[in-house]
Amino acid sequence: MTRPDAPWQPPLRWWSHLWRYLLCMALGLITWVPVIEAQAEELPGLFWLDIAVGIVAGVLVWFRRRWPLPVAVTLCLLAPFTSIGAGFIALGTISLATRRHWWELATIAVLNLVGTAGYYAVQPTQETDPAWLLALFTVLMVAVSLAFGMFIGSRRELVWTLHERARTAEDERDRRVAQARSGERTRIAREMHDVLAHRISQISMHAGALTYREDLSAEQMRSSAAVIQQKAHEALTDLREVLGVLRDDTGSATGPQPTFADVPALIEAVRAAGASIRYDADVADADRMPEQVGRTVFRVVQEGITNATKHAPGATLRISVAGDEEDGVTVLLRNPIGFGPTRTPGSGLGLVGLAERTELRGGRLEHGVRADEFELRVWLPWSA
């Protein structure tokens, strides 16, 4: 078992207990051999007491991790009455020393010295060595036992700390990966939202034309219906890609992302659908514009066209893009308000998404009504 205040202590399996007990019994037999004959002949009661106390020591040492200090103290107090239990007493001392609490170490050291002195007083030993040599040997053995226990405790804590750091690093890595994946999926979903809104606004514009135009020929009707069908298929394809990205754990997009160079093609496609757009671009070194900035400019223009076709389908939308590497890029979209009917509902999230995208690039977004015109102005730094 592992104590809550010492989480680095590894749990012991049955084989860990087995080899420790075998080693303690071997050490006890080595200690018992010099006195066993004298006990059996001179003090038979002490002989059986030695065995009984040794068994008690073997039982007590099993609980050394649950009650380390009481078990170690009790074993030291039993030391004068057992030789065969010497290994279990040493195991209790070493186990307590792994905790590395100085007051516990001092207490158990004194008790070990007292218990060893009592052992030489009680047991029928035939020692001829001087008392000072026995005392020195006893102190040395106690110091070695405590130092060995402290070394084991330090090593266990070091290994546990390294494992905890590795686990924490792996958890942090997984959290960052999941966060990055979630952010990437959100970014892709936002991109697809802009694309879908643009596609659906085109479908709505063509459908509105079919509703209000009564002078169209059958060929023109079929042509408009074919455009609606094409745009619907494109919207469904984009929707499938969005759903695939949101369900896929990798969160990766499959198609190339648009840049500033794709803005003219976007405007031409909308003009071909019947929208009235005036476009003016005056960007110095447009080829050197960073992809992130160009992509944001494209999305701003796309969202502006979507809003204009939703809320002012008959108005002329004026788009201007200007800037350079020093002053940044300014995108301005203006269209008259209250111009033409519309049945396309707006979610109100388009401008919110544009504001978030612009702020992420370090830019500014302003919109409002000025002189009976709705104006959308976006500024982006060149190094965004």
- What three-state secondary structure class fits 366? strand
Q: Kindly report, residue by residue over 69-86, the tens digit of the pLDDT.
A: 899 999 988 888 888 888
The predicted model scores a pTM of 0.46
Per-residue pLDDT at 225? 74
334 bridge partner residues: 318, 375
Neighbours of 82 (CB within 10 A): 27
Torsion-angle region of residue 13: left (phi > 0), alpha (psi -120 to 50) or beta? beta
Please give the mean pLDDT across all residues of the chain. 79
Nearby residues of 279 by Cβ (< 8 Å), 6 or more positions away? 263, 264, 267, 319, 320
Q: Mean pLDDT highest for which of 6-15, 69-78, 178-187, 336-345?
A: 69-78
What's the rounded Cα separation, in Å, for the pair 286 and 162? 52
Residue 255 binned pLDDT confidence (cut-offs 50, 70, 90): low
Q: How far apart are CA 10 and CA 303, in angstroms?
A: 61
- Amino acid letter at 114? V
Rounded Cα–Cα distance for residues 34 and 124 (Å): 9
Say what percent of the chain tops pLDDT 70: 78
> 343, 204 in Cβ contact below 8 A?
yes
**Residue among 361, 372, 303 nearest 336 (CA):** 372
pLDDT at 320 over 90: yes
Residues 6+ apart with CB under 8 A from 82: 28, 49, 50, 53, 54, 57, 89
Q: Indicate the pLDDT class of residue 333, thresholds 50, 70 and 90.
A: very high
Residue 368: strand, helix, or coil: strand
Rounded distance, CA 197 to CA 44, Å?
A: 100
pLDDT at 245: 56
**What length is written for the chain?**
384
Q: What mean pLDDT comes out for the span 370-381?
A: 89
Strand partners, 239: none
CB environment 199-226: b (16+ within 10 A), e (fewer): bbbbbbbbebbeeeeeeeeeeeeeebee
Question: Does residue 144 have a pLDDT over 60?
Answer: yes
Crossing angle of helices 86-97 and 14-42, in 10° steps, is 140
- Torsion over CA of 55, 59, 60 and 64, rounded to 10 degrees? 130
Instruction: Indicate the pLDDT class of residue 332, thresholds 50, 70 and 90.
Output: very high
Q: Tell me the torsion sign for CA atoms 196, 280, 313, 276.
A: negative
pLDDT value of position 2: 47
Rg (CA), the chain: 43
Domains detected in the chain: 14-171 (no CATH), 258-384 (3.30.565.10)
Q: Which one has a higher pLDDT value, 34 or 147?
A: 147
Specify whether the CB–CB gap between 92 and 64 falls below 8 A.
Answer: yes
Single-letter code of the amino acid located at 276: S
